[in-house]
Structure 1
Amino acid sequence: MEEIRCRSHVLVAMLAFVAAVLPSTVAGGLCRESCGNIPVRYPLGIDDGCGSPYYRNLLTCAADNATLRLRTPSGTYPVTGADYSDPHLVVTDPSMWTCARPFTAVHAAPFSLDTSTRFSLSPRNDYLFFDCDEARVIVAPRPASCDRYPGRCDSACDSAGYLCRNLPGCRGALEDGNMTCCEYRPRAAASLRAILRHCEAYTSVYWRAGGGGDESAFAPYDQAPAYGVRVDFEIPVTTRCLQCQDKRRGDGGTCGFDTATRDFVCICDDGRNSTTDCADGHAPGRHGSAGVVAASVVSISAIIGVAGLVWYIRKIRPSKVVTCGVQSNENRFF
């Protein structure tokens, strides 16, 4: 019995050794280029190792591959639009008031962003607050002097705001006076949270470029309001990424990064990873995946190491049954 127990301990040690030296297996699938009807391109990514490491793990795609979501400190929100020529996402907060989803007095934390990321709230966002406690919130028409000295008016919520009278999709919906409204442009998310504590509901409206919808109702403006939060992002452009995407250097690849080191990687359609581009060239070894070579070397080393360990254990095994301990000086491991 003691011999069997000792051998089982040795087997566990061998398995632990193999697990330690063999490289972990990473899914070799290519980067997904969309989630639902939302395109996902550099610098964004929904698969680890795709896009820029600055946006790692900030976007997720639902299991049904139909809903793209953005992770923030205040929650996870559906993404309804993405633009890469004017880099921004459009995010919706299910707790926000809209014409299609009337006032429900749902108290929830307003949308906020982690300021340490490359995402930022767009200055094109306006926030509307409904039925605020005027003993706690300054609700008053915005003076004309605020346009010249905006810093002096940060604490007031504008009761004469344009959007309160022109709600997207239901202009004049508040004219019957059943609910008060004021418009606010905060400098920080903390201001939003402070105001919402004393209001029944809020919504976010961003200004989008004209073209379709009910933009004609807001002529002669070249932008129209729409429900949602516009989140701007930066596109870090590097020479290596441009070379990777250049179709003159082969089929063109996808810019990504090594999940362990965060170093740049060019992900090719045939599954290869390169530090430059996906060109076939005359020296394919230079463009081949360094990870494959390293994995082969480590695997061979692991086999040699395990074989050596087995040989060593057989060599030092005593002629008689021993307990899992030191029997004599002849069979000591150390």
Structure 2
Amino acid sequence: MNFWLPAFIIFELLISTLHLHPVFSLPACRNLCGGIAINYPFGLDDGCGAPPYRKMLNCTGDLFFQTPSGNYKVRSIDYDKKNMVMYDPAMSTCTMLQPHHDLVMSAIQSVLIPPSPDTVFVLLNCSIDSPVLNHYRSLCFNFSGHSCDELYNACPSFKIFHLLSTGYPPCCFTGYDTVKYMSMNILDCSHYTSLYNADDLSGVGPLDWSYGIKLSYTVPNTGCDRCAQSGGTCGFDTETEGMLCLCSSSINSTRECAGGSVISRSRSRGHNRTPLTLFQAFGFILGAFLNLFL
């Protein structure tokens, strides 16, 4: 009997086994940043949360929402109402005047987590040639009975526009779609501000408005509740973006931790791999030989 043929076959099987079933060390997903809880569908670490929200949040001391136009500080996340409030540091407010800054969100962000309907964008100090004062004037709307003159009169930072002209320059209360499709340069307005919870601001002066941008998000239906109830954390495979239930045992199930079907861990979330040691491999081969010839 050829001694080396079965040895070669066993060696090939061992290499195949080592390749298909490595062991991974998977740290738990971070669930807090700057005092704000991080729950599904959001995640700070790659492979945590839902794939469509991948890398939208960044934790550098404080929590930031990342967009193509920059990082916006997150003030709060309400998981029951499914909204997030963020603040644009380059945005003007009633007490601070800033150069204009375009809000640019990615295509998937505009669909999954756009500014809420009760978030109002205010275009300030607009030229008489501005599109929103001419062909697109229908994009401006009445906001809870408030007027441009009220802003210019009540806000210390906006009074300068009145002082630099003989009257009050035009402004426009508008929605997200306006600033989504037209930049501030096209709109021909020198500054902007934004406020949220607009439906609750009737009779409330500009000094007491809530300045910022509220985003409304949707939660993908991937069976995350089942995973959470089993003690796991919802995540995904970073290569296939298929759902994973991340468990404390470091064995990831497709759906739940207790009694779930264990997936092949041939793909990792970018963490360390711990292969079999040379001593373990030698023991495996020796045992196979003994079984074969004795």
Structure 2 length normalisation: TM-score?
A: 0.68
Of residues 193, 200, 203 in structure 2, which corresponds to 1:203? Answer: 193
Matched, 1:131 2:155: no
Relative contact order, higher structure (CA 8 A, sep 6+) = 2
Structure 2 counterpart of 1:204, one-letter code = S
- Determine the C-alpha separation between the residues in 2 that align with 1:165 and 1:270: 62
* Equivalence for 1:321: none
Q: Give the Cα separation in 2 of the matches to 1:262 and 1:274.
A: 14
> Partner letter of residue 29 of structure 1?
P
The 5 A counterparts of 1:1-334 are 28-62=26-60, 66-101=61-96, 103-104=97-98, 106-108=99-101, 110-117=102-109, 118-139=112-133, 153-155=137-139, 162=146, 164=148, 171=154, 173=156, 177-178=162-163, 180=169, 182-186=171-175, 187-194=177-184, 198-207=188-197, 218=204, 225-238=209-222, 240-246=223-229, 249=230, 252-279=231-258, 290-291=264-265
Q: Give the direction of change, closer, same or farther, for the CA distance of 1:192–1:166 in structure 2 (3 Å limit).
A: farther
Instruction: Provide closer, same or farther for how the CA distance between residues 158 and 124 of structure 1 changes in structure 2, counting only shifts above 3 A.
Output: closer
Gaps of 5+ in 2: 1-18, 282-294
Q: Quote the residue 1:319 is aligned against.
A: none
Change in 2 beyond 3 A, CA 1:260/1:125: same
Instruction: Describe the shift of the 1:293–1:93 C-alpha distance in structure 2 as closer, same or farther (beyond 3 A).
Output: closer
Tell me the CA shift for residue 191 of structure 1.
Answer: 4.1
Distance 1:293 1:46 in 2: 20
Which sections of structure 1, spanning at least 5 residues, go unmatched? 1-20, 141-150, 305-334
Shift of 1:184: 3.0
Cα distance in 2 between the residues matched to 1:138 and 1:296? 57
Deviations 1:214-246 (A, max 9, x none): x79639xxxx841111111111123x3221111
User: 3-state SS of the aligned residue for 2:238?
Assistant: coil
Distance 1:82 1:293 in 2: 32
> What's the secondary structure of 1:99's corresponding residue?
coil
| Count of residue pairs the alignment pairs up | 251
Q: Per-residue displacement from partner, 1:33-83 (whole Å, max 9, x unpaired)?
A: 121022211111111111100111111111xxx311112222221111211
What is the CA RMSD across the aligned residues, in angstroms? 4.3
1:236–1:202 distance in 2 versus 1, CA, 3 Å: same
- TM-score (normalizing by structure 1): 0.61
Q: Is the 8 A contact 1:137 1:195 kept in 2?
A: no
Alpha-carbon distance between aligned partners in 1 of 2:274 and 2:25, rounded to the nearest angstrom? 20
Greater Cα radius of gyration, structure 1 or 2: 1
CA drift of 1:271 comes to 3.5
Between the aligned partners of 2:265 and 2:106, the Cα distance in structure 1 is 33
2: CA distance between counterparts of 1:261 and 1:61? 25
Equivalent-residue separation in structure 2 for 1:155 and 1:216 (angstroms): 20
1:157 positional shift: 7.6
Q: Percent identity?
A: 29
Aligned to 1:328: none
Give SS of 1:291's match: coil
